Amino acid sequence: MTEPVDSLASLRAFVASADTRSFKLAGQGLGVSSSAVGKAVARLEAQLSVSLFHRTTRTISLTDAGGLFLVRARRMLDELHAGEAELATMSGSPRGRLRVSVPMTGGLLTSALEAFVADHPLVELDLDYSDRIVDVIDEGFDVVIRTGDTGDSRLLHKSLGRFRWTLVAAPAYLERRGQPETAQDLLAHVCLRQKFSNGRIGPWSLRSSPGIQLPVSLTASVIDPLLELCEAGVGIGCFPEFLVRDALAKGDLVTVLAGEVEQAGVLTMLWPASRYRAPNVRAFVDCLARFVSVASPAE
């Protein structure tokens, strides 16, 4: 029979290691050494009588058992965070860890995050920057900010505003390659496209040519590098208007085929219904609602 272990510390070490695929990075996030993380995971494996990770000299990866246990471990830590939030409700002061998944939005959220950190020093804000679709409940997020479907009945949501997409390019690119006059002209241009984690290429929905198969000249899994490449004159990109508003105003980018893109979206915050009363969640939601607006001036 194995000796009792500090299950909470071991669970945190395990989840952090699973998230980072590294004992070293997990230790940095937890404020302990990589050796301490490895030993905590080893003690947990001994207690469970199962291997949670495949280990090599350079990397670790979840075993099948580790993948199954990760879902449970997240839920256990999630319950702990919910309990901490309930206790915080008694004092009325936001405190404790707040895990938030945010998209790569070109600094759109910076001022809001700066204000939140300044106003709520007792909250440990843990940001996961990614454009992938996450499972808010199973992955243990307190708040997720995304565009797209909000149909999960387990989640509450608040809109940060509607927005449209637009085609843009750097003036230097258009001087070099010419200004497209029609959607068909895009077939001869460098098109910078987003590629999602499932392998799907983000569509450019064009009014005049709804079924056109545009070039996939360059892809990236997140949108920020595409915007940087577009500003550098590499090609034409399709972005939410709120991302390119400043660059258009400064002349770093210009609109291509104005009004051609018919895509629209909404930027939304989502959070588990069970955490509606948590002070840190409500404070974060209220802060972003005050500071973030994606609507264009015309809207």
Q: Tell me the two tokens of residue 2.
A: 């194995």
Residues of the chain within CATH 1.10.10.10 domain(s) are: 7-67
Distance of CA 82 to the CA centre of its chain: 22
66 class by beta-carbon count within 10 Å (0-12 exposed, 13-18 middle, 19+ buried): buried
pLDDT at 1: 39
Residues of the chain within CATH 3.40.190.10 domain(s) are: 71-162+266-291, 164-264
What's the mean per-residue pLDDT of the chain?
84
181 class by beta-carbon count within 10 Å (0-12 exposed, 13-18 middle, 19+ buried): exposed
Mean pLDDT, range 23-35, rounded to an integer: 85
- CATH dotted code for 71-162+266-291: 3.40.190.10
Q: Tell me the two tokens of residue 149.
A: 């479907």
Task: Tell me the pLDDT band of 278, cut-offs 50, 70 and 90.
Answer: confident
pLDDT at 4: 45
Task: Tell me the pLDDT band of 162, cut-offs 50, 70 and 90.
Answer: confident
Distance of CA 66 to the CA centre of its chain: 24
| Superfamily (CATH) of domain 164-264 | Periplasmic binding protein-like II (3.40.190.10)
Q: Tell me the two tokens of residue 211.
A: 């079924």
pLDDT in tens, 185-200: 999 999 999 887 778 8
Q: Which residues pair with 164 in a beta bridge?
A: 264
pLDDT at 180: 95
Mean pLDDT, range 72-80, rounded to an integer: 83
Q: What CATH architecture is 7-67?
A: Orthogonal Bundle (1.10)
pLDDT in tens, 226-276: 999 999 999 999 998 888 988 999 999 999 999 899 888 888 888 887 766
- For residue 148, pLDDT over 70 is answered with no
- For residue 277, pLDDT over 70 is answered with no
Distance CA 229, CA 63 (A): 38
Closest CA to 235 of 193, 184, 192: 192
